[in-house]
């Protein structure tokens, strides 16, 4: 069993607790936070945002006309299928539930 070092003390549960940070380390951390460069103004950040958006939009691979038409046809056909499926299920389930309600 290893012994605890001189800087560590034991908690009531018997586990060693870590030593507190020295004051110099705490002061150094505070001074590092204080020496951060100032944030650019909102207008500079907004301008940078729009420049980045423009740059990204140039990299986008846009679909051609046939791809758009094909995708649209798939969406419309799928929509029609699910409308008809829902209509069919509704037409069959509602009378069945009404029949069960009369029996019960």
Structure-token pair, residue 47? 């301008």
CA dihedral 66, 68, 72, 74 (to 10 degrees): 60
**Which tens digit of pLDDT belongs to each residue from 54-95?**
999 999 999 999 999 999 999 999 999 999 999 999 999 998
Structure-token pair, residue 2? 């290893």
| pLDDT above 70 as % of the chain | 66
pLDDT band at 40 (very low <50, low <70, confident <90, very high): confident
| pLDDT above 90 as % of the chain | 51
pLDDT higher than 80, residue 6:
no
pLDDT at 66: 97
Whether the full predicted model's pTM is greater than 0.75, yes or no, is no
Higher local confidence (pLDDT), 70 or 9: 70
């Amino acid at each position: 069993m290893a012994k605890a070092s001189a800087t560590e003390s034991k908690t009531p549960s018997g586990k060693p607790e870590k030593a507190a940070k020295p004051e110099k380390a705490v002061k150094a951390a505070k001074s590092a936070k204080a020496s951060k460069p100032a944030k650019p103004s909102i207008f500079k950040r907004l301008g940078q945002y729009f420049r980045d958006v423009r740059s990204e939009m140039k990299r986008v691979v846009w679909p051609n006309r046939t791809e758009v038409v094909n995708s649209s046809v798939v969406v419309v056909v799928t929509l029609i299928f699910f409308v008809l499926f829902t209509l069919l299920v509704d037409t069959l389930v509602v009378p069945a539930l009404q029949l069960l309600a009369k029996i019960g």
